Amino acid sequence: MLHCYLRKKTANHDFVRAYTAKELYKATNGFHRLLGRGGFGEVYYGVLKSLHYPEIAVKKLISSNDYSEREFGNEVQSIGQIHHRNLVRMVGYCKERAQRMLVFEFMPGGSLRSFLFQPQQQPMWSWRAEAALGIAKGLEYLHEGCNYPIIHCDIKPDNILLDSKKNPKITDFGIARLLSDQQMHTTVTNIRGTRGYIAPEWFQSDRRIDTKVDVYSFGVVLLEMICCRKSQEPVPGQDGDDSVMLFEWAGQLVGDGRTEVLFHSDDDAIEDLFRVERFLRVALWCIEQNPSLRPTMHQVVQMLEGVIEVDTLPAPTSSNCSSPLTSSVDESPLLPGGATLAIE
């Protein structure tokens, strides 16, 4: 299943509030301040003075399936019961006629993407390491902290937001089911994901989709966080002539025992090279093309924390070191239709 009906522990205060469209229109000043847009819809800044933390983000869903209002409400309540320090909390929703809106706590720190890829002001390695571990724990909770696992399907830096203290929180989990034209647990006709972060099994109709697709995406994000480089931007090859992708470059350097080359001006990372190398090996295991060889997110957390050892990496091949999806996936977060995958 791609969603979680109930947390293992529930309480009455967990239930989110239903707002009217008029209330949210007023709270957002007529949907005046656009925070961003993506495959799920547009997000607007707002203020609800009735809340303890009044600043909110209102996501206007672009479409919805043919759920009844009751079914939509039940589904949203399920998402609203999911609480974790590394997950953006849903505080409310609106379901009036064809309108579907979700209300989340506001994340003033912006997205991980906007914070990470700043050549002149890249975040310290110590922060990147702790943030990566937090993101891993958030995903681990989605996969193993509910009665049924939630597969996010679109882990990327844009869907990781930062609070006022720069703590990372995953957003947009559990929403795919609310928008799918068909039930997500039967087939997917429009695969959701973003170029460079999508696991290869999405494009193989004989594969079953499970939580390992999120592990792959997390591996890409982790590698980007370690190197402060976008996975889709080529880097010079070892001979200085040909360019290679980040996956291949990092894999070559780890295999050659030259990890420090990744951090020529990052003293913080070089001083913590043992942990850096451990994180790199975890990232490379996560992006293994064979999903059965990828670790679970629980194992990822344990490896990042140093609780268990990271196994020796498989022999490098072209399929291990580069993503075959860079040219087959459109720029849009919503991929072209036509693929049908059996999902349970």
Q: Are residues 174 and 70 in the same domain?
A: no
As a whole-number percent, the residues of the chain with pLDDT over 90 amount to 47
pLDDT of residue 238: 57
- The answer on whether 212 is annotated among ligand-binding residues is no
pLDDT tens digits, residue range 111-159?
999 999 987 788 999 999 999 999 999 999 999 997 778 889 899 999 9
> Which tens digits make up the pLDDT trace of 289-312?
999 999 999 999 999 999 999 988
Same domain, 306 and 178: yes
Cα distances (angstroms) measured from residue 263 to each of 122, 258, 272: 12, 10, 11
Which of 47, 72, 105 delimits the end of a domain?
105
Same domain, 89 and 193: no
Which bin fits 248, alpha (ψ -120 to 50), beta or left (φ > 0)? Answer: alpha
Contacts within 8 Å (CB) and 24+ apart, 38-47: 38/158, 38/159, 38/172, 38/333, 39/154, 39/192, 39/332, 39/333, 39/334, 40/172, 40/175, 40/176, 40/179, 45/106, 46/103, 46/106
* CATH number, domain containing residue 152: 1.10.510.10
At 159, phi and psi to the nearest 5?
-100, 20
Rounded distance between C-alpha atoms, residue 173 and residue 40, angstroms:
11
Last residue of a domain, one of 71, 105, 139: 105
In the prediction, which pLDDT does 195 show? 81
Specify the higher pLDDT residue, 329 or 14.
14
Separation of alpha carbons 168 and 1, rounded Å:
26
Q: Are residues 198 and 94 in the same domain?
A: no
Q: Are both 60 and 181 inside the same structural domain?
A: no
Domain match, 85 and 154 both: no
- Which of 325, 314, 166 shows the shortest CA–CA distance to 231? 325
State how far the Cα of 310 lies from the Cα of 300, in Å rounded to an integer. Answer: 9
Q: What is the pTM for the complete model shown? A: 0.83
Read off the pLDDT of residues 238-258 as tens digits, 9 standing for 90 and up.
555 556 788 888 888 888 888
Does residue 178 sit in the same domain as residue 87? no
Domains of the chain: total: 2
Give the mean model confidence (pLDDT) for residues 98-114. 93
Q: What is the CATH number of the domain that holds 87?
A: 3.30.200.20
More confident position, 226 or 263: 226
Q: Are residues 232 and 86 in the same domain?
A: no
Burial class (CB in 10 A: 0-12, 13-18, 19+), 14: middle
Do residues 184 and 272 share a domain?
yes
Catalytic residues: 154
Query: Is the residue at 57 inside a domain?
Result: yes
Q: Which of 88, 105, 122 is the last residue of a domain?
A: 105
Place 104 in a pLDDT band, splitting at 50, 70 and 90. Answer: very high
Class of residue 149 by CB neighbours under 10 A (exposed 0-12, middle 13-18, buried 19+)? middle
257 and 225 housed in the same domain: yes
Decide which of 9 and 273 is more confident. Answer: 273
Dist CA 290 CA 4 (whole Å): 26
Q: Which of 42-46, 170-174, 217-221 has the lowest mean pLDDT?
A: 170-174
- Judged by DSSP in three states, 244 sits in strand
Q: Is residue 6 part of a domain?
A: no
pLDDT tens, 10-29?
344 457 899 999 999 999 99
What Cα–Cα distance (Å) separates residue 248 from each residue in 142, 287, 293, 321? Answer: 30, 11, 18, 4
Evaluate whether residue 3 is within a structural domain.
Answer: no
Tell me the mean pLDDT in the region 224-250: 78
The pLDDT value recorded for residue 57 is: 97
User: Given a cut of 90, is residue 260 above it in pLDDT?
Assistant: no
Average pLDDT over residues 317-334: 38
Cα separation, 58 vs 196, in Å, equals: 27
Residue 8 has pLDDT above 70, yes or no: no
pLDDT digits (tens, 9 = 90+) for 50-95: 888 899 999 998 765 555 566 677 778 888 888 999 999 999 999 8
| Amino acid 244: pLDDT | 75
Q: Please report whether residue 96 resides in a domain.
A: yes
3-state helix, strand, coil in the chain (%, to 5): 35, 20, 45
Q: Would you say residue 7 lies in a domain? A: no
Q: What CA–CA distance (Å, rounded) separates 198 from 213?
A: 7
Q: Are residues 139 and 99 in the same domain?
A: no
* Mean pLDDT (the chain, rounded): 80
Has residue 2 been placed in a domain? Answer: no
Do 241 and 276 belong to one domain? yes
In which domain, by residue range, is 130 found?
112-342
The answer to whether position 270 is within a domain reads yes
Is residue 56 a part of any domain in this protein? yes
Cα–Cα dist 108/2, whole Å: 29
Tell me how far apart the alpha carbons of residues 169 and 137 are, in angstroms, rounded to a whole number: 10
pLDDT of residue 183: 37
